[in-house]
Structure 1
């Protein structure tokens, strides 16, 4: 009896309320992922068509102004990577804070698996890239972080297209892992990829950030007060040499998660309110536009494609995305079960975890961003890295598809079980509200 009580289940279902919240998030991200796919295809086709000059002219067109010594004249591609992705990271920051304050990550027994998996899914791909490119020189090694990111929107879009009935607990794990992955990615960007660091601007950014924090802590939602402060914070962080997307995370961490009355029944907290408002903008506009301007690379036909993939940078990225992510996530999850005497929840198998780990090898949005930061937009390594990111992500999607489709009948049975409501209380019987 004592031994049985010591066994902890991983990937078990959470509360019904949490299930509904995650389902809504995944639905929005799936739609955004479909738009992301479309934007990527349009960019690739245009960049490799007879009208390719028009695409690159549009991407490199300068827009903006210089004011008080601030350099805000940027190309459209730069506005997308520095500006629109700040919105993406703001939403990621809101979700991360909510998970740590009121979600699954607030409890060690639920947080340890996705956190360990995310760390493994970052460390192993980075290590594989470094091993492959050990003799490549400093410039090539600077791309070590490119294959560390997981694109949740792209991964969910693949699941939606394939109609895979992945269990709710595994979808939640994928989302949580990607959220922690985003935090690690933004930390890497802030620490390892600053450019011409100007600490005085970073110090000045603390003033509008503090005012923004004071207002949101007072639960003030007035956009005409918050948006200008957010923009000023973004401008100053941009000028500091730290990548401007960091501003999005800093602003998100300032937003309170819980209501003042601590009663979720009276409505969502401010973080959840902002997330509902801004996530559609992030998933439906910001990320697809970034993908459109970033994914367009002139491949140069089959010869150019094969030449790109012979670059050690490309070999490192593709290998890291496919093998590194799978080994890192699966291995970390397996080790957690061994060291904590945990076991998979009923109805799940280790092949499910492997399929999910390979699916997490779909690295796109943040990988493309880190590629530009590591090599520069004009570097041939950057173009090769883009081809490798697309190739590795596609291969990871195809391999994961084969594995997950083999289990689709089993998933469908689990999905039917999750919909049974024998007592008629409106909550499927498999959900245990005591876990909340």
Structure 2
């Protein structure tokens, strides 16, 4: 029982994220649907005017101007990538990715789920233009919030091991996506700006090593010293957000033992403190000071990494991602929509996500089991892994983001959006029904076993 309790505590960050993802996935779906509807109404003219409006600033001889959509994709999405970086660091330090046994199966699945979709896309587009080939990174992506949101809709009977498997798979997939963006989706590199960014990034790691925990210091240096030079260097600025996240301290100023000792002393002082004359309404100055000290040590007993991750999840799930969806998910469906969805770009993405993820994740997972690389996690079965493979084919947010980097041609952009939205919608429903059936079958099987045992005992 104690072991189960400890395991549950270790999985709290994942459980909290899954619960948040349930509503956020509905909000994300609503944002994407709204963008799709608005793109096919007269309102689209005004939306495009807003998205392509140039915004920026000038300081002396320095100027920086981008349209609204690029500020969303380069700036607002950096917050999304920053939180991904925080999650990765936590998982590597003390989460599911810290134990090799926990990550072998998801790692094999994630690698297969990235390589196969990219290869399928290439096969559909190798005879097309050079620009159409740029979209090979689009079907590699998995939208963790959407995938976990669909999983949460299935209710409490979903095994925690399935949530852990899908989360670990998606996190490893995120690492791959970040590397793909950093290496392949960059323009000409400015060595000077990149050098400036790396110097400031090194300074942030030094501050972390020296015990500096003021988040504002990391924010100012991270934005001005790292993110902005990255933006000017040609390497996508969202990569800077991931790197800055890894510089955020994961250690606490006050450890657990010291915190408990100080808290015990402060509680004893609070009991002895002189009470206010109006005790029912007010605290005495001494009591106020003690409570203030309890708040301070409580704040210092949580690492900056955990505080930021907890506080920024809501911002990302309920603000950043819906705004991104509104700005990027709109597709103008014209009379030749059938031609659009049957184009090599769109088909490459649809088949890449739905078939590539299925073969890559489910196929390689089963192969690894057969070869004895790992064992099937407790409470999971083949059908659940099959369903998770389809949920991992929901590429929505990251796929749309890579699409915005891959293409400049408006036709390719629209074709890719059609492919992403179609594959994500179909895969989400397939994954939902497959896992729902697997859970119902397991519950029915467990009930049958239980009944048989009871009858055996009674006779």
1:260 Cα shift? 5.9
Q: Please list, as runs of the form range in 1=range in 2, the aligned pairs for 1:30-41 lying within 5 A after superposition.
A: 30-41=22-33
Within 2, Cα distance between the matches of 1:317 and 1:244?
A: 25
Does the 8 A contact of 2:161 with 2:377 survive in 1? Answer: no
1:196 Cα shift? 2.4
Deviations 1:11-48 (A, max 9, x none): x9981212222111212233322221121111111111
The one of 337, 362, 371 equivalent to 1:305 is: 337
Give the match for residue 57 of structure 1: 49
TM-score by length of 1: 0.86
1:119 Cα shift? 0.8
1:96 Cα shift? 1.0
Give the match for residue 237 of structure 1: 230
Give the match for residue 4 of structure 1: none
Does the 8 A contact of 2:162 with 2:380 survive in 1? Answer: no
The one of 253, 276, 286 equivalent to 2:320 is: 286
The question of 1:396 aligning with 2:427 is answered: yes
Give the match for residue 28 of structure 1: 20
Within 2, Cα distance between the matches of 1:414 and 1:363?
A: 33
The one of 277, 280, 300 equivalent to 2:311 is: 277
Give the stretch that moved more between structures: 399-408 or 161-170.
161-170
The one of 376, 395, 415 equivalent to 1:344 is: 376
Deviations 1:221-275 (A, max 9, x none): 4343222112111111011000110011110111233436665995443322211
Within 2, Cα distance between the matches of 1:364 and 1:41?
A: 12
Give the match for residue 158 of structure 2: 166
The one of 373, 383, 398 equivalent to 2:414 is: 383
Deviations 1:93-113 (A, max 9, x none): 111111112112122211211
Does the 8 A contact of 1:13 with 1:169 survive in 2? Answer: no
Deviations 1:359-403 (A, max 9, x none): 100001111111121112x43101110111000101111211221
Give the match for residue 129 of structure 1: 121
Does the 8 A contact of 2:22 with 2:153 survive in 1? Answer: no
Give the stretch that moved more between structures: 204-213 or 328-337.
204-213
- Unpaired segments ≥5 residues, structure 1: 1-11, 417-436
Question: Rg bigger for which structure?
Answer: 2
Count of aligned pairs: 402
Report the RMSD for the aligned CA atoms in angstroms.
2.5
Deviations 1:273-300 (A, max 9, x none): 2111211111111111111101112122
Within 2, Cα distance between the matches of 1:414 and 1:340?
A: 27
Within 2, Cα distance between the matches of 1:39 and 1:414?
A: 40
1:89 Cα shift? 0.9
Within 2, Cα distance between the matches of 1:13 and 1:385?
A: 45
Give the match for residue 357 of structure 2: 325
1:406 Cα shift? 1.1
Does the 8 A contact of 2:159 with 2:379 survive in 1? Answer: no
The one of 160, 173, 181 equivalent to 1:181 is: 173
Deviations 1:151-171 (A, max 9, x none): 011112323445474211111
Within 2, Cα distance between the matches of 1:56 and 1:409?
A: 46
Give the match for residue 248 of structure 2: 255
The question of 1:78 aligning with 2:95 is answered: no
Structure holding more helix per residue: 2
Partner SS for 2:375: strand
1:348 Cα shift? 2.4
Within 1, Cα distance between the matches of 2:6 and 2:48?
A: 47
Partner SS for 2:135: coil
Partner SS for 1:66: strand
Give the match for residue 95 of structure 2: 103
Give the match for residue 440 of structure 2: 409
Give the match for residue 16 of structure 1: 8
Give the match for residue 355 of structure 1: 387
Within 1, Cα distance between the matches of 2:439 and 2:228?
A: 48
Give the stretch that moved more between structures: 265-274 or 73-82.
265-274
Give the match for residue 283 of structure 2: none
Does the 8 A contact of 1:256 with 1:271 survive in 2? Answer: yes
Within 1, Cα distance between the matches of 2:19 and 2:42?
A: 37
